[in-house]
Amino acid sequence: MTDIGIIVGSTRPGRVGRQVAEWVAEHGRKRDGIDVELVDIEDYGLPVFDEPRSPLLGDYAHAHTRAWSSKIADFDGYVFVTPEYNRSIPSALKNAIDYLYGEWNNKAAGFVSYGSSVSGARAVEHLRLIAASLQLAGVRTQVSLSLGTDFEAFTTFTPGERQDAALQQLFTEVVAWAEALAPLRRR
């Protein structure tokens, strides 16, 4: 069984990311051979990075970091759900990612974005660079959702059917890469 974490990348009040992440998780649960879990970074209450030592060491001083580490380490791969803020990812997502290092290594990552002008594509480009530095294998397919066409009144998620096929392909790639990288995680 391949375990995939669906990471909600926004903590903003009134966010739509949770709706998107639930849609992603629902699609993942329909697939054989994988378990998906929705992971909302808001639930972890991570302050601005406050560990005294580098995440490279994996020696965490704070309970909030140990809880976050334990959760992220459980997965074989991830699907990051992120809005685009000022042509990048939200600071809360970057902060949560920066807390850890080894927990991300040799795993697969897929990306689902949403935004107004280019459906969050620039956020994913930044997230791909971050993922690569953490030894996360970012898959090619991504799902880009428009606040104008995939949401009613910019607040209620109503994805078009065209998005379902892209999401299925994204899951196919994340699972394939997660399984291919499994021997590296066992070292």
pLDDT for res 153: 87
pLDDT for res 186: 76
CA–CA distance, 16 with 34 (Å, rounded to integer):
25
Q: Which residues pair with 112 in a beta bridge?
A: 81, 143
Please say whether the beta carbons of 156 and 127 come within 8 A: no
Regions of the chain short of the pLDDT cut 50 = none
CA–CA distance, 27 with 6 (Å, rounded to integer):
11
Given the DSSP bridges, would you call strands 34-40 and 2-8 parallel, antiparallel or unpaired?
parallel
CA–CA distance, 80 with 4 (Å, rounded to integer):
10
Residue 15, φ and ψ in degrees, nearest 5: -60, 155
Residue 21 CB coordination number (10 Å): 25
Closest to 89 (Cα-Cα) out of 177, 2, 17? 17
Residue 38, φ and ψ in degrees, nearest 5: -80, 125
Largest Cα–Cα separation, the chain: 49
In whole angstroms, how far apart are CA 81 and each of 54, 142, 186? 26, 10, 27
Closest to 16 (Cα-Cα) out of 142, 148, 121? 148
pLDDT for res 127: 98
Which tokens hold the place of 165? 């096929």
Each residue of 128-175: pLDDT tens digit? 999 999 999 999 999 999 999 988 888 888 898 889 999 999 999 999
CA–CA distance, 22 with 14 (Å, rounded to integer):
15
